[in-house]
Amino acid sequence: MIIDVLNGPNLNMLGTRQPEVYGSTTLQDIEALCADKAKLLGFELRFAQTNHEGALVELIHNAKDTAAGIVLNAGAYTHTSVAIHDALASVALPCIEVHLSNIHAREPFRHKSFVTPVAAGLICGLGAQGYAFALEALAEMLPPTE
Ligand code: DQA
C-alpha cells in the first residue's frame, strides 16, 4: 500500500527557515521519520516536495490510481489554493492535512484552509511528529491488505 507524503512551498527550507516557528528539523529528517513510521505500519512511502502549485496538483492527481492515501502539508498554498482543494476532491483519497505549526494560533490569514474541507483530518502544531501521527491515522482508516 503506497502512501504519498506531499509537501508544498518553502518546506525544502526547513532547518534554517524561521527555526523559532518551525524548529530545526530538516525536510530530510521528516522524510526519514516518515520512512521509519511507514515501515512499521507496512506502507510503501512516496515522499515529495515542490514549490509549484501546479506540480502539487499533478502529484495529487498521480496519487489517484497509485496510492491508498495522502499526507499533505501544502504550506502557504493551504490558505490560497482552490486548485489544490479541487484536486483533492477529484481524487477522493483519504488525506490527512499536516502543519508543523499551529496555524490557528498564528496570523489570521493562516486560519483559513482550503484543504481542511476535503481532508479526512487535520494535525497541526505538533511539529515533525505530526507526520508520523498522520501515517498512523491512515493506518487506522484504511482497510487491511492481505
Ligand atoms: C505550514 C504553515 C503555513 O501557514 C506556512 O505557509 C508553511 C508551513 C506549517 O507546516 O506549519 O509554509 O504549512
- Is residue 29 in some structural domain? yes
Rounded to whole angstroms, the maximal C-alpha distance in the chain is 46
Q: Which residues of the chain have pLDDT under 50?
A: none
Is position 104 within any domain?
yes
The CATH number of residue 13's host domain is 3.40.50.9100
| DSSP for residue 43 | P
> What sign does the dihedral 59-36-78-68 (CA atoms) show?
positive
pLDDT of residue 143: 82
pLDDT at 105: 97
Can you give the pLDDT at residue 7? Answer: 98
Residue 36 lies in a domain: yes
Q: What is the pLDDT of residue 146?
A: 59
Q: Is 131 an annotated catalytic residue?
A: no
How many domains are there within the chain? 1
122 assigned to some structural domain: yes
Active site residue 104: no
Asked if the structure places residue 67 within a domain, the reply is: yes
Its pTM stands at 0.96
Concatenated DSSP letters for 63-78? HTTT-SEEEEE-GGGG
Ligand 1 near 76 CB (within 6 A): yes
Q: Is 80 in the pocket of ligand 1 (CB under 6 A)?
A: no
Full residue range of the structural domain in which residue 67 is found? 2-140
Query: How many whole angstroms from 146 Cα to the centroid of ligand 1?
Result: 37
